[in-house]
């Protein structure tokens, strides 16, 4: 049935869950793009101001002749600058290109099909040649076996962009870069491929995008992340990382890994249990995203004693909470009211759950889960985290005791229910302190609305053979009000240091060390908005270890979907300016899920100015 276009849930249900896709939506007779697909203004591509790529297509047939050096030079120049270029005389038969386009159109014409990944053996000649030229230029002698390793498995995705009634406000694929070595792309006659201009590129200031124009019969080549990582590393003479990436690629078979890990639901745990010795390429982070733990600072704030709230030391403790929320955005609490025995059972329960046989866990895989409140799975969208996260998880919505008892998995529901009950009392106390400090007089109903939505997770980070190049959870901020996190004794939680934080320059991360019997609390995006930016919803990430697996049990408290969020009037009065606009929480959530997991940038959605 056609969805109600004014209801984000109904659109999501129809497009994603039922699998009708955007094509189904357009075919159902759409005249206006639903809110869910509207990009925030700053992410839109202003095509009037885009520059057309002026590099002429590169003639690959010359690579084997006397013009070799000249053509090689063109390829290298293009790879070094725009990162995108077009090739003609590429050796891929033109009739094949045409039939690929036809096939793609036909494929998306099939009922209820969404996406497929096919191998395209005839474009692989070509990719090998290009790769060899690029690698030779950076001083690497490449023999056939190395080239084979580097391109490992080649994936061609067919992506269909249906006709869109409001093209100025939507986006086909959000800004991302490809993972893999070289991406070969066949554009059809419609066009619409743009490359983001980086700040260090010397172009006129106002243009932000380069349009890759249509060249008949040409293929578009994109230098993907993995090659960028490779060239960076070689330039910095850091051969160790280069070796790791090569090894990783050697083992990689993106499609079968995806099937085993994601589709079948074995998770990273299944991959590790199968006797893996290096991580597959899809889990390798670009170097600039990795956490260098040698340079991290340990958080020095002592845990805050919550039992003192309401007693003679109330003000001093409230002061500690406020100070932590304003600076790091993270703090640890003791005497928090959650029984210590329960904390131990939670960790044990998490290990036990992920240790269950696949059949039991796979029941809760997103496409088949019998429960609307439970979702088991693993990281599956590389563009969200630059690489897949090395973790498996089970997510649960808490909508009341009865539903939890009915829908949550039997093995875990008892302890989790007790955990959420105790935690919510603590969260409300903390929130009250933080709001009162802003001059608000929060009553029970206000606190109730602001913490009305509760999502719990158990996250399992399996041992990782190459923890220096992977990430458990990529850099992000939490979207709700306050997050409560139980972490075990392994450690690995890091908070990103922002430029305005006054720490020694070379450190980029603050480590939140495990302290027995404490819980970690952090400010999330909505509290940053309510406080008009006074409290910090800090970006954080989890680093893997090769020592042992790690578990964590977060509770994300969020406002009700329909809650209106805006900076508190008392703060605006004091500050003389509102830094965020007013919006409904559900719109914020939809915006975040639609865009990449790009950390604090989610908050740009609500920023004024």
- The minimum distance between CB 60 and ligand OGA, in angstroms, equals 46
Could you say which of Ni ion, ligand OGA, none residue 542 binds, taking C-beta under 5 to 8 angstroms by partner kind? Answer: ligand OGA
Nearer CB in complex with ligand OGA: 125/547? 547
438 touches 365 (CB < 8 A)? no
Binding site for ligand OGA (CB under 6 A): 457, 459, 473, 478, 485, 487, 493, 540, 542, 552, 554
Element (H or E) spanning 550, and its range?
A: strand 550-558
- The minimum distance between CB 92 and ligand OGA, in angstroms, equals 43
Nearer CB in complex with ligand OGA: 233/483? 483
- The minimum distance between CB 487 and ligand OGA, in angstroms, equals 5
Chain residue at closest Cβ approach to ligand OGA: 552
Nearer CB in complex with Ni ion: 225/478? 478
Rounded to the nearest angstrom, the gap between the alpha carbon of residue 517 and the centroid of all alpha carbons in its chain is 30
- The minimum distance between CB 479 and ligand OGA, in angstroms, equals 9
Could you say which of Ni ion, ligand OGA, none residue 349 binds, taking C-beta under 5 to 8 angstroms by partner kind? Answer: none
Residues in the chain: 609
* 522 C-beta neighbours (distance < 10 Å), count: 26
- The minimum distance between CB 473 and ligand OGA, in angstroms, equals 5
Residue 478 contacts Ni ion per CB under 5 A: yes
Q: Which residue from 63, 91, 88, 50 is spatially nearest to 207, judged by alpha carbons?
A: 50
- The minimum distance between CB 522 and ligand OGA, in angstroms, equals 8
Could you say which of ligand OGA, Ni ion, none residue 579 binds, taking C-beta under 5 to 8 angstroms by partner kind? Answer: none
Chain residue at closest Cβ approach to Ni ion: 478
Could you say which of Ni ion, ligand OGA, none residue 15 binds, taking C-beta under 5 to 8 angstroms by partner kind? Answer: none
Q: What would the two tokens of residue 297 be?
A: 């600072």
Distance CA 584, CA 92 (A): 51
- The minimum distance between CB 308 and ligand OGA, in angstroms, equals 26
Nearer CB in complex with ligand OGA: 457/572? 457
| Residue in the structure block whose two tokens are 């994109």 | 222
Rounded to the nearest angstrom, the gap between the alpha carbon of residue 382 and the centroid of all alpha carbons in its chain is 7
Could you say which of Ni ion, ligand OGA, none residue 268 binds, taking C-beta under 5 to 8 angstroms by partner kind? Answer: none
Nearer CB in complex with ligand OGA: 24/329? 329
Q: What would the two tokens of residue 120 be?
A: 């395209």
The percent of the chain in helix, strand and coil, each rounded to the nearest 5, is 40, 15, 45
Element (H or E) spanning 407, and its range?
A: helix 401-407
527 touches 588 (CB < 8 A)? no
DSSP 438: T
Could you say which of ligand OGA, Ni ion, none residue 459 binds, taking C-beta under 5 to 8 angstroms by partner kind? Answer: ligand OGA
Could you say which of Ni ion, ligand OGA, none residue 551 binds, taking C-beta under 5 to 8 angstroms by partner kind? Answer: none
Nearer CB in complex with Ni ion: 478/511? 478
Q: What would the two tokens of residue 231 be?
A: 């060239």
Distance CA 539, CA 34 (A): 30
Alpha carbon dihedral 336, 342, 348, 352, in 10-degree steps, equals -120
- The minimum distance between CB 455 and Ni ion, in angstroms, equals 11
- The minimum distance between CB 485 and Ni ion, in angstroms, equals 8
| Residue in the structure block whose two tokens are 């900076």 | 567
Nearer CB in complex with Ni ion: 468/478? 478
Cα torsion 423, 424, 429, 432: sign? positive
Could you say which of ligand OGA, Ni ion, none residue 552 binds, taking C-beta under 5 to 8 angstroms by partner kind? Answer: ligand OGA
Helix (H, G, I), strand (E, B) or coil at 79: helix
Could you say which of Ni ion, ligand OGA, none residue 487 binds, taking C-beta under 5 to 8 angstroms by partner kind? Answer: ligand OGA
Question: Taking the CA of residue 277 as centre, how many other CA atoms within 13 Å lie in the half-sphere pointing to its CB?
Answer: 2
> Which residues here bind Ni ion, judged by CB under 5 A?
478
């Amino acid at each position: 049935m056609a969805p109600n276009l004014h209801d984000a849930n109904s659109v999501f249900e129809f497009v994603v869950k039922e699998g009708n896709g955007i094509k189904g939506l357009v075919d159902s007779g759409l005249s206006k793009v639903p809110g869910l697909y509207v990009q925030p203004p700053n992410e839109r591509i202003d095509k009037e101001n885009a520059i057309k790529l002026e590099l002429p297509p590169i003639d690959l047939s010359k690579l084997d002749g006397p013009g070799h050096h000249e053509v090689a030079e063109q390829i290298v120049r293009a790879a070094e600058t725009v990162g995108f270029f077009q090739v003609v005389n590429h050796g891929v038969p033109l009739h094949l290109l045409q039939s690929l386009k036809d096939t793609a159109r036909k494929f998306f014409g099939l009922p209820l099909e969404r996406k497929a990944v096919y191998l395209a053996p005839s474009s692989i000649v070509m990719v090998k040649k290009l790769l060899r030229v690029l690698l030779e230029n950076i001083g690497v002698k490449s023999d056939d076996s190395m080239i084979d390793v580097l391109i490992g498995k080649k994936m061609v995705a067919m992506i269909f962009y249906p006709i869109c009634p409001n093209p100025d406000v939507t986006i086909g694929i959000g800004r991302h870069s490809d993972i893999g070595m070289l991406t070969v792309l066949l554009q059809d006659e419609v066009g619409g491929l743009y490359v983001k201009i980086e700040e260090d590129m010397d172009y006129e200031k106002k243009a932000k995008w380069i349009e890759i124009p249509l060249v008949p019969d040409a293929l578009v080549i994109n230098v993907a992340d993995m090659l960028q990582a490779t060239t960076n590393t070689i330039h910095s003479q850091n051969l160790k990382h280069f070796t790791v990436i090569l090894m990783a690629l050697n083992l990689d078979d993106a499609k079968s890994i995806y099937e085993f890990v994601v589709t079948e639901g074995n998770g990273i745990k299944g991959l590790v249990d199968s006797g893996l010795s290096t991580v597959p390429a899809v889990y390798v982070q670009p170097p600039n995203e990795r956490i260098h733990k040698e340079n991290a600072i340990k958080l020095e704030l002592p845990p805050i004693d919550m039992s003192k709230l309401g007693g003679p030391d109330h003000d001093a403790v409230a002061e500690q909470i406020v100070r932590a929320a304003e600076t790091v955005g993270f703090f640890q609490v003791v005497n928090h009211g959650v029984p210590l025995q329960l904390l131990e059972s939670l960790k044990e329960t998490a290990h036990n759950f992920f240790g269950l046989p696949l059949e039991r866990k796979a029941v809760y895989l997103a496409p088949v889960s019998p429960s609307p409140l439970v979702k088991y799975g693993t990281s599956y969208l590389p563009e969200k985290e630059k690489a897949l996260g090395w973790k498996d998880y089970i997510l649960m919505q808490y909508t009341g005791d009865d539903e939890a008892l009915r829908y949550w998995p039997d093995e875990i529901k008892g302890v989790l229910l007790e955990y959420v009950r105790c935690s919510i009392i603590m969260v409300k106390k903390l929130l009250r302190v933080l709001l009162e400090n802003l001059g608000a007089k929060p009553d029970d109903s206000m606190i109730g609305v602001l913490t009305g939505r509760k999502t719990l997770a158990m996250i399992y980070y399996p041992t990782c053979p190459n923890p220096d190049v992977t990430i458990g959870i990529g850099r992000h901020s939490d979207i709700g009000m306050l997050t409560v996190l139980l972490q075990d004794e392994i450690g690995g939680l890091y908070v990103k240091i922002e430029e305005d934080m006054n720490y020694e320059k070379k450190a980029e991360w603050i480590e939140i060390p495990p302290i027995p019997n404490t819980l970690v609390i952090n400010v999330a995006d909505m509290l940053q908005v309510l406080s008009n930016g006074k409290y910090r919803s800090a970006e954080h990430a989890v680093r893997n270890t090769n020592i042992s697996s790690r578990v964590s049990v977060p509770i994300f408290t969020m406002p009700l979907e329909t809650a209106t969020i805006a900076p508190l009037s008392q703060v605006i009065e004091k500050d003389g300016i509102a830094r965020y606009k007013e919006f409904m929480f559900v719109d914020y959530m939809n915006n975040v899920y639609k865009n990449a997991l790009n950390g604090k940038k989610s908050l740009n959605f609500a920023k004024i100015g």
